[in-house]
Amino acid sequence: MGAKGEETRARLIAATRALIEAQGYFGTGLNQVLAESGAPRGSLYFHFPSGKDQLVTAALTEAGQEISGLIDSFAYEKLSAAVIVRRLLDAFSDRMEGSAYSKGCPIATVALEVAGGNEELRRVCAEVYDTWQQALAAQLVTEGRAPGAADATAGAVLAQFEGALLLARVRHSHTPLDQAALTIQLLLAMS
């Protein structure tokens, strides 16, 4: 595929990411994606012949990789797990406030909608969350925690993090993120 084809594919994925995060899976139509991306209809089905689910899968995967990349870059800087989580919370807080709280976690909106009815997308969301949890657990292991305890702690941190994002978005306030940061610091200090 040429550069123009890659650019069109990237625009379709970027538009889908923005729309599903703000409006959810069911609130986002392919006509909206086309309008937002500026791509012709034929390009959508050329790049994503299986349609909406294939496009959403690509958008979720890319969003997940972006956050995983942040975690990896923070770990590469030799930051502690507590600092990594705080930086992630700060980044999400900035995104939320910058979007007037129309955006939160790039995975959660879709995960909440499709977990009970779309096995393919549920699996993609689960894989993204698993990757984030594993990255955090790996950092905790490097800090001296046993693998089982590190995984359990990383799971608790992820649950706290995701819950705080949801509450912050619903309340239009960064307070839940600040509270989560404090709770996570305490959790990481105890484990």
**Average pLDDT of adjacent 10-residue blocks, the chain of 191 residues:** 82 95 93 94 92 96 93 88 91 91 90 91 96 94 95 96 94 93 89 57
* pLDDT score recorded for residue 189: 86
* pLDDT score recorded for residue 191: 57
* pLDDT score recorded for residue 5: 74
Alpha carbon distance 43, 29 (integer Å): 16
Neighbours of 172 (CB within 10 A): 12
* pLDDT score recorded for residue 156: 96
For residues 114 and 25, the answer to whether their CB atoms sit within 8 Å is: yes
* pLDDT score recorded for residue 76: 86
Q: What CATH fold (topology level) applies to the domain 3-190?
A: Tetracycline Repressor; domain 2 (1.10.357)
* pLDDT score recorded for residue 1: 61
Alpha carbon distance 122, 39 (integer Å): 27
Alpha carbon distance 107, 61 (integer Å): 9
For residues 44 and 56, the answer to whether their CB atoms sit within 8 Å is: no
At residue 21's C-alpha, the angle toward residues 17 and 22, to 5°, is: 120
